[in-house]
């Protein structure tokens, strides 16, 4: 049971990965009240250390005894590791899990703090972080849903290669250079060329579901319904990997129960927590992945009324998938938890 303290002992599981390192830097950037940090990884790398607040911290091997004395455990080490170790950690600490292991478990709250912070109240030791593509979409849509109720969402994502890990980013860079040099390149992360390309299958290692959708696309369907507490919302997603190193972009179309104008959406989202509206088409200003990289906000632009649907709105939503789409959201959950004590 988490109790109020001046400072908390925090564990980062998967500390050597891209999201784990974002969690470490995010704790420092946001001045989270850390007393002691424990950095954990699934494999031992002799002498491996990572910086935390200017100090070198040993990376320890993840094990069943890793959570003694820990108050909050941030997990980002893969679904298999989470299923194995999160229940163990939850006996000692509150677990905030960035994997898909517990997202649709009815006993585990799935939370974006700007969207459904009230669900934190019923956690039983484990809290799930949603999928990166879902997080940025629901942050942009929840204020609209609260005002005029969204009936239907059609979304196409353009997801950066960093969502597939550091090896994927390296593959894109090396493949791009090889092709520019007129050389061939044998892919190992992606099933097809990613440089100068777009792949309509995420994750690339997964088979398609029986309905023809990918598991990434079905995550957006199911996670949105769970966080909005509305199983009747119709959601259709197409998730695409594109040759961008960092930052996910989404073309989002919604149909609402009551009419809302584009100007009303701009005004509503301009005042929404965690959202920054950039929508000045006269000066070619709209959200860009390059602009969102390294930033905390969810950026929204190209807001317009759907000319094919009386109660339709189109928009363009961009966010840093490693920050708000993963590490930052987990830290914000922890911040809300300790603020509620």
Q: How far, in Å, are 151, 263, 297, 329 from residue 321 at the CA level?
A: 26, 28, 11, 10
Give the rounded distance of the alpha carbon of 229 from its chain centre: 19
User: Which residue out of 123, 132, 145, 239 is catalytically annotated?
Assistant: 132
68 in active site: no
Rounded Cα distance between 117 and 340, Å, is 11
Q: How far, in Å, are 15, 62, 141, 245 from residue 23 at the CA level?
A: 8, 17, 25, 19
Instruction: Say what the alpha-carbon torsion angle 89, 92, 93, 99 is, to the nearest 10 degrees.
Output: 10
- First-to-last C-alpha distance (Å) of the chain: 11
Q: Are the beta carbons of 120 and 127 closer than 8 angstroms?
A: yes
Rounded Cα distance between 186 and 171, Å, is 9
248 in active site: yes
- Bridge-based pairing of strands 198-199 and 234-242 is antiparallel
DSSP 191: S
CB atoms within 10 A of CB 65: 7
Residue keyed to tokens 């777009």: 198
Q: Of 254, 243, 227, 234, which is closest to residue 316 (Cα–Cα)?
A: 254
Tokens of 8: 């908390």
The C-alpha R_g of the chain, in whole angstroms, comes to: 20
Rounded Cα distance between 102 and 237, Å, is 21
User: Which residue out of 123, 145, 239, 248 is catalytically annotated?
Assistant: 248
Residues serving a catalytic function are: 132, 248
């Amino acid at each position: 049971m988490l109790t109020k303290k001046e400072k908390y002992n925090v564990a980062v599981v998967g500390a050597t990965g891209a999201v784990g390192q974002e969690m470490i830097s995010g704790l420092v950037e946001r001045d989270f009240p850390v007393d002691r940090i424990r950095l954990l990884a699934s494999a031992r790398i002799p002498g491996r250390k990572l910086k935390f607040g200017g100090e070198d911290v040993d990376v320890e091997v993840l094990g069943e005894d890793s959570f003694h004395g820990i108050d909050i455990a941030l997990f980002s080490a893969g679904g298999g590791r989470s299923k194995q170790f999160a229940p163990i950690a939850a006996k000692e600490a509150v677990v905030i899990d960035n994997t898909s292991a517990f997202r649709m478990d009815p006993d585990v709250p799935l939370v974006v703090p700007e969207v459904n912070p009230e669900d934190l109240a019923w956690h039983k030791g484990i809290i799930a972080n949603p999928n990166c593509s879902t997080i940025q979409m629901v942050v942009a849509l929840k204020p609209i849903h609260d005002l005029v109720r969204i009936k239907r969402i059609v979304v196409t994502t353009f997801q950066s290669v960093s969502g597939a890990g550091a090896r994927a980013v390296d593959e894109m860079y090396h493949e791009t250079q090889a092709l520019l040099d007129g050389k061939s390149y044998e892919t190992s992360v992606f099933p097809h060329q990613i440089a100068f390309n777009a792949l309509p299958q995420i994750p690339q290692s997964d088979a398609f579901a029986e309905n023809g959708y990918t598991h990434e696309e079905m995550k957006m369907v199911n996670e949105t319904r769970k966080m909005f507490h509305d199983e009747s919302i119709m959601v259709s997603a197409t998730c695409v990997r594109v040759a961008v190193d960092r930052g996910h972009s989404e073309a989002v179309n919604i149909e609402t129960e009551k009419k809302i104008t584009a100007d009303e959406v701009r005004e509503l989202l301009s005042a929404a927590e965690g959202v920054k509206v950039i929508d000045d088409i006269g000066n070619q200003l709209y959200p860009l992945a390059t602009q969102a990289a390294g930033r905390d906000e969810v950026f929204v632009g190209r807001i317009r009324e759907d000319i094919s649907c009386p109660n339709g709105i189109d928009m363009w939503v961009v966010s840093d998938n490693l920050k708000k789409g993963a590490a930052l959201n987990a830290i914000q959950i922890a911040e809300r938890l300790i603020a509620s004590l």
